């Protein structure tokens, strides 16, 4: 069954006659169907983070090498060549470039990311969307207004309050003041997310091509087609093993990366001692000034090559979901960072003496005795280098889905111990196809040179380094912008500290960006195209999601209308439980009225289920469900709000259904326990009130037949009495202040009867009733909107996973209620 519903606006002048009725109706609605604040207060906050032993911390630090640092660790393969593509004129230029590399590694990966940005994680979750979640909790900037005060009582809903009149409070007020500012913030967040997705396509293609390109070291006459074919085969193998999970992949890749770092560190130390120890003077920043003074514009453009020394840093922040922050900090500070410094210093020492080897500085500087072992490890490390961006892409896509910014995809948790370790099969295959397309495009371009440095200046592979530069630097700029808001609104840092951080970050990153701009036409446009496509998808999906929620809010059914139907709802109440899914945490959804007006029967027990994702990383199991009764007991209608964080997984079995019904049973026990007297009088009084309300509803909606003022007097006089008999919510304070829980036999029998009735209904069957809303552009809409809604969104909605699949609803118990919504 389907229904056509069109969202329309009514001129203000036409509403003036009904203003008093609407106001009184709204007041009654609020009292009949109140928010679940009191239910939230009843929950016990039992959730605690488990500490990690030192042995476990070292183990995770080891595993993080294979997942987080592969891309960053393989940068020594090509940095110096891309910095000096036309050769080295002066040995002092090598010292200047080395100084730039040292301070780039020090300022960006070590200080900014590992010790500042990574601390802005949302209970272990990283990436631009995790920052957005933090901001949503500290300011009202979320565009989907589905948050309630009860959500703030969650253990994981941590936030700080700004002092009135402080700079943070003024910033918050400014950000919340205009709707366009909220939209602009979301666009910035999505831009950073889309750049990360683009990086997830480019980095594996470049890394794997680096590895296969090494085959031509001793076979320069080998066809480029063979190199591309081998790269594609390796890519297919790399993405095919992702379903084994981060834990297993980490154990497989970590030894390779560990050996790689040990090799480059030891080789670097050997080269420093053998060739020129004076390169250590590059630790003085003076040589950076001399470098730019000597090379001028060429030196500034060479910053693009220096930027390659910190690629992979942006993925590091997204990958902190897979490992504890302390494990990542230990691995980078005490192992990765020193090894990288030794590797770059060693290559610089070699180039000072052998400037002619600028094209193959890495392999030329390796001692002959370890050349082939190093070549094999380098090939493996180059392949592993793409894992950081692949894992990071899974993490940010899951967060985007939970925020309503990405089509629904399947999420698989691959570890029972660490919930942050996930796998997205849909995204995995999309990334694989994108990587293959990028790699295969080399075949029709100019000759593929040696990916380890023996590339010609016309090499298409070199141009794809330029494309990676663009993605990396834009993600860093977005992160810096968002971190300014975090430091103000969340950390409440002094404005001087914020200014210092902002100045240093923007100074370094805008310098890199200015160098990358010169290379936009040489491949830098590739990530911009990928990001534009991703941004279109995410923007259209989010826009339609917001409109659907607004439609649900504006078309929800009046509680007084439901109560006016009587306990049977004017239908045949058949045995069983009906779970009606809705986006609303309060009110009766429109699909329910559409359902009962088209079918002559409804289940004996009706539960309105709202599955809501909150801007938190997880919701503890004992705090997940909120349950309350709607209307009198004779109606047997309940509401359940199931709350999830963006890290949580909806279980694939009967757990959700069983836990919901268990929570419902517990609610009935507590509710009956708290009633001081028998409910028999309550039943009779509520039933009589129900009939009186039925006449009240008729009075309100038939203004032509009754006097308006008399109706409203009758309506207002009944509100307090109705609430006193219908509102069965019991506060946490009442629960603890009750003198005695002993009830008379009548109450115990009623509790037993209702629980037995619930059990009988469950045995009769549980049916999941879900809305299937089709969104279409309204007639007369402008052309871009029609394309976005009728084609882009319709296509995405068709190919993405349905809500019933994501929630693992059994197909044999599913009932879809269709409707068409015009925006």
Show the tokens assigned to 445: 């371009």
For residue 582, give Cα distances in angstroms to 244, 405, 410: 35, 19, 21
Show the tokens assigned to 301: 């453009």
Cα 177 to chain centroid, rounded: 25
Q: What is the band of 380 on the pLDDT scale with cuts at 50, 70, 90?
A: confident
Show the tokens assigned to 118: 């990574």
CA atoms of 151 and 381, how far apart (whole Å):
45
Give the largest CA-CA distance in the chain.
Answer: 103
Query: What is the phi-psi region of residue 296: left when phi exceeds 0, alpha when psi lies from -120 to 50, beta otherwise?
Result: left
pLDDT reported for residue 387: 76
- Degrees to nearest 5, angle at CA 240 with 234 and 241: 100
CA atoms of 564 and 531, how far apart (whole Å):
53
Using an 8 Å Cβ cutoff, are 171 and 140 in contact?
Answer: no
CA atoms of 637 and 567, how far apart (whole Å):
10
Question: Strand, helix or coil at 573?
Answer: strand
Examine the pLDDT at 733 and tell me if it is beyond 50: no
Mean pLDDT of 167-194: 87
Residue pLDDT, tens place only, 16-35? 444 445 445 445 444 444 44
pLDDT reported for residue 60: 83
Residue 260 vs residue 598, higher pLDDT: 260
Examine the pLDDT at 72 and tell me if it is beyond 70: yes
Show the tokens assigned to 761: 């209904």
CA atoms of 581 and 641, how far apart (whole Å):
10
Percent of the chain with pLDDT over 90: 15
CA atoms of 747 and 749, how far apart (whole Å):
5
Question: Strand, helix or coil at 755?
Answer: helix
Mean pLDDT of 531-548: 88
Using an 8 Å Cβ cutoff, are 559 and 500 in contact?
Answer: no
Cα 340 to chain centroid, rounded: 31
CA atoms of 236 and 125, how far apart (whole Å):
28
Question: Rounded mean pLDDT of the chain?
Answer: 75
pLDDT reported for residue 9: 41
Mean pLDDT of 600-605: 86
Percent of the chain with pLDDT over 70: 73
Using an 8 Å Cβ cutoff, are 227 and 496 in contact?
Answer: no
CA atoms of 207 and 197, how far apart (whole Å):
16
Mean pLDDT of 124-141: 83
Question: Strand, helix or coil at 244?
Answer: helix
Using an 8 Å Cβ cutoff, are 315 and 117 in contact?
Answer: no
Residue pLDDT, tens place only, 468-523? 567 788 889 999 999 999 999 888 888 899 999 999 999 999 999 888 777 666 65
Query: What are the extents of the domains in the chain?
Result: 66-136+193-447, 558-673+756-822
| Lowest model confidence (mean pLDDT) among 312-321, 429-438, 638-647, 671-680 | 671-680
Among 380, 397, 304, 244, smallest CA distance to 85 is for 304
Residue 627 vs residue 143, higher pLDDT: 627
Examine the pLDDT at 445 and tell me if it is beyond 70: no
Q: In this structure, what DSSP letter does residue 588 have?
A: B
| Lowest model confidence (mean pLDDT) among 308-317, 415-424, 804-813 | 415-424
pLDDT reported for residue 220: 66
Show the tokens assigned to 32: 């009949």
The helix (run of H) or strand (run of E) holding residue 615 is: none
End-to-end CA distance of the chain: 21
SS3 breakdown of the chain: % helix, strand, coil, rounded to 5?
A: 65, 10, 25
Residue 381 vs residue 336, higher pLDDT: 336
Strands (E), 195-321: none
């Amino acid at each position: 069954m389907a229904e056509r519903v069109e969202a329309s606006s009514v001129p203000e002048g036409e509403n003036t006659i009904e203003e008093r009725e609407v106001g009184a109706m709204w007041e009654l609605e609020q009292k009949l169907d109140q928010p679940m604040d009191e239910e939230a207060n009843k929950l016990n906050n039992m959730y605690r983070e488990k500490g990690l032993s030192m042995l476990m911390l070292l183990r995770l630090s080891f595993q993080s090498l294979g997942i987080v640092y592969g891309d960053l660790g393989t940068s020594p393969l090509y940095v110096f060549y891309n910095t000096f593509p036309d050769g080295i004129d002066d040995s002092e230029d090598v010292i200047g470039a080395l100084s730039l590399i040292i301070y780039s590694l020090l300022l960006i990966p070590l200080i900014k990311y590992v010790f500042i940005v990574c601390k802005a994680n949302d209970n272990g979750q990283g990436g631009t969307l995790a920052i957005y979640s933090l901001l949503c909790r500290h300011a009202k900037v979320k565009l989907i207004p589905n948050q309630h005060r009860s959500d703030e009582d969650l253990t994981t809903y941590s936030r700080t309050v700004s002092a009135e009149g402080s700079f943070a409070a003024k910033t918050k007020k400014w950000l919340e003041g205009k709707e366009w500012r909220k939209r602009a913030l979301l666009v910035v967040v999505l831009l950073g997310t889309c750049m990360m997705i683009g990086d997830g396509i480019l980095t594996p293609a470049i890394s794997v091509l680096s590895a296969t390109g090494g085959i031509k070291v001793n076979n320069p006459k080998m066809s480029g087609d063979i190199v591309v074919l081998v790269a594609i085969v390796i890519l297919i193998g790399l993405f095919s093993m992702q379903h084994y999970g981060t834990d297993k992949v980490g154990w497989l890749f970590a030894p390779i990366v560990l050996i790689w770092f040990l090799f480059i560190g030891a080789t670097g130390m050997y080269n420093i001692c053998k060739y020129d120890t004076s390169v250590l003077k590059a630790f003085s920043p003076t040589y950076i000034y001399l470098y730019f003074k000597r090379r001028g514009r060429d030196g500034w453009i060479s910053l693009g090559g220096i930027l390659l020394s910190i690629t992979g840093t942006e993925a590091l922040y997204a990958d902190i979901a897979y490992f504890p922050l302390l494990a990542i900090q230990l691995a980078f500070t005490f192992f990765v960072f020193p090894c990288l410094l030794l590797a770059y210093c060693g290559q610089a020492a070699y180039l000072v003496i052998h400037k002619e080897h600028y094209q193959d500085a890495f392999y030329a500087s390796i001692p002959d005795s370890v050349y082939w072992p190093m070549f094999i490890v380098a090939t493996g490390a180059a392949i592993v280098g793409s894992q950081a961006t692949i894992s990071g892409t899974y993490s940010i896509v899951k967060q985007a889905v939970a925020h309503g910014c990405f089509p629904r995809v399947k999420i698989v948790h691959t570890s029972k111990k660490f919930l942050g370790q996930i796998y997205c099969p849909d995204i995995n295959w999309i990334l694989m196809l994108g990587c293959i397309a990028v790699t295969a495009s080399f075949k029709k371009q100019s000759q593929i040179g040696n990916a380890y440095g023996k590339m010609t200046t016309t090499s298409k592979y070199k141009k794809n380094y330029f494309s990676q530069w663009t993605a990396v630097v834009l993600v860093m700029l977005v992160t810096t912008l968002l971190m300014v808001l975090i430091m103000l609104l969340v950390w409440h840092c002094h404005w001087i500290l914020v200014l210092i951080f902002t100045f240093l970050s923007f100074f370094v990153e805008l310098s890199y960006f200015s160098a990358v701009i010169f290379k936009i036409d040489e491949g830098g446009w590739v990530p911009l195209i990928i990001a534009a496509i991703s941004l279109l998808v995410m923007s259209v999906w989010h826009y339609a999601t917001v409109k659907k929620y607004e439609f649900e809010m504006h078309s929800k059914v009046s509680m007084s209308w439901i109560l006016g139907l009587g306990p049977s709802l004017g239908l045949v109440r058949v045995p069983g439980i009906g779970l009606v899914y809705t986006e609303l945490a309060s009110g009766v959804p429109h699909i329910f009225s559409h359902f009962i007006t088209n079918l002559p029967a409804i289940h004996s027990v009706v539960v309105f289920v709202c599955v809501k994702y909150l801007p938190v990383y997880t919701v503890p199991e004992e705090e997940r469900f909120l349950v309350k009764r709607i209307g009198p007991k004779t109606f047997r209608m309940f509401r359940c709000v199931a709350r999830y964080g963006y890290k949580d997984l909806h279980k694939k079995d009967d757990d959700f259904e069983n836990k919901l019904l268990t929570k419902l049973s517990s609610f009935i026990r507590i509710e009956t326990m708290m009633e001081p007297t028998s409910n028999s009088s309550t039943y009779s009084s509520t039933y009589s009130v129900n009939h009186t309300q039925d006449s009240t509803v008729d009075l309100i909606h038939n203004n032509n037949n009754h006097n308006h003022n008399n109706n409203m007097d009758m309506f207002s006089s009944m509100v307090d009495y109705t609430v006193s008999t219908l509102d069965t919510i019991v506060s946490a304070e009442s629960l603890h202040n009750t003198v005695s829980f002993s009830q008379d036999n009548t109450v115990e029998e009623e509790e037993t009867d209702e629980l037995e009735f619930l059990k009988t209904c469950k045995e009769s069957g549980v049916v999941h009733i879900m809305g299937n809303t089709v969104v279409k552009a309204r007639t007369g809409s402008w052309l871009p909107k029609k394309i976005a809604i009728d084609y882009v969104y319709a296509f995405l909605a068709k190919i993405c996973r349905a809500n019933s699949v994501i929630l693992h609803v059994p197909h044999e118990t599913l009932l879809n209620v269709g409707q068409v919504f015009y925006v």
